[in-house]
Amino acid sequence: MRAPSSPFGDIVLKRYIVQAILEEAGEGITLAVDSALAGADEPDRVRGDRPDTGRFTFEGVILRAIGDGVTPGESHGVWIGLLHLGPDGARWLRAAIAAARADGTLATARLSDLLSRVLDAGHPVRIVYSRGGWVNVNELRDLLDASGLHV
């Protein structure tokens, strides 16, 4: 499986990833992160307040950094491009968009850049870890790979 390589593709994923993100979602922002890609040199690397242990826990994981500022060696996984925005999270993201527009960086900003602004503003962003269970689809070969998921 590859990490997202293009902002214009779609993903095919197993339903448990959507269920997990909805179960953890609150008023803020919750991201789906593939912890099997921890250490990978891919865009949208993330570092949480702790790595995925593979064990069930009631303790949530909070995002500490996302994007190019996270080195592969310190990453706990890769954001797969799926997120949930609650009412507060939507407000935080709108504020980040407005700030990027005001300083002239919006045209080249990735969503992970905007999420970094949310973090810099002091807002918590939750992480839901999974291991695989998704495929980024940008071309026919990717769609064929996705057929093996048996969603």
**Number of domains comprising the chain:** 1
30 falls within a domain? yes
| Residue 20 placed within a domain | no
In a domain, 21, yes or no: no
Asked, for residue 151, whether it belongs to a domain, the answer is no
Cα 37 to chain centroid distance, Å, stands at 12
Tens digit of each residue's pLDDT (9 = 90 or more) over 23-81: 989 999 999 999 999 999 988 999 999 999 887 766 789 999 999 989 999 999 999 98
Cα–Cα dist 106/117, whole Å: 12
Dihedrals phi, psi of 73, to nearest 5 degrees: -65, -25
Residue corresponding to tokens 């994923």: 13
8 against 93, higher pLDDT: 93
Residue 53 forms part of a structural domain: yes
pTM, rounded to two decimals: 0.83
Answer whether residue 140 is part of any domain: no
CATH number of the domain at 90, please.
3.90.550.10
Please name the residues in contact with 18: beta carbons below 8 A apart, sequence gap of 6 or more: 82
Residue 69: inside a domain, yes or no? yes
**pLDDT attached to residue 89:** 97
Range of the domain at 98: 26-133
